[in-house]
Structure 1
Amino acid sequence: MRRSITLLGILAASFALLGCRSEGGIGYSADSYTYVSRTWEPKTISVIDTRTGETIWTLELPVGKQLNLKFVTGTGPNEYYPDEIQWKVVDAGNGGIANATNRLPCPPRDARRLEWVRRPVPEMPGTELTAEQTQ
């Protein structure tokens, strides 16, 4: 019986470490999010500094792609931006945030807002909007 409980615990920990990502996030407050852009729901994701209203980061996620994003506390360069946003864009349905090479300092948890907007639909894969088209 004791061996079964130990094995079950190891199995549960293994699944937790795999980093399965579902759209919207991981289901608990770990400041980790997942967004998928689809033909009828193409997404643009932004991080807003609520102290100034400034948009500090924006990504027009291509259709058929998935954004895995997380905020890491205490890794930023200074008091004003003490945290860091880390992200990775992968094919929809694949990958976690491990080995994210995209990083940017960001405001602390209480001074940032993560939001997304839907771009005009339908948007087919490979027809992403350019900066000129969005203005």
Structure 2
Amino acid sequence: MNDEIDYRNELEDARKRATVCGRNGSEESLEVHWEICCGDVLLAEENMENQDREWENALLVREFLDAANFLEGYDEMLNNVYVAVQRMVNMVIDHPRLKLEMLKLQLTVIRRIEALCDHDLDESEDVENELAYY
């Protein structure tokens, strides 16, 4: 029996549900947009690992940015977005503008977490340096 998840089908399902529920901040809305973020990350990682459909990753990153920027506005989603951004930023290759957008989102999330926890995260300086590079 094959227990592998078809990320592509799951992501498509989440996209359909997102168009129905919209972006109203409800638990359902946050959950479905989080599923889109997860699907984008997992599919992009699968594409990179298999060295197949890597061209698709730029589209997945754009979709991820859209959903993650929405989720970033909710404190309860910050830790999830933080982890997803760290993984997705590594999927951006040969797209300096997308990399820049991902790094800006990463820094925003880091700074929001720092403000909420009243504690500096070590990696904020690294992200700032990488942003300065781009």
**Coarse TM-score class (shorter-chain normalised):** under 0.3
TM-score, scaled relative to structure 2? 0.23
Structure 1 or 2: more helix by fraction: 2
The structure that has the greater radius of gyration is 1
Structure 1 or 2: more strand by fraction: 1
TM-score, scaled relative to structure 1? 0.22
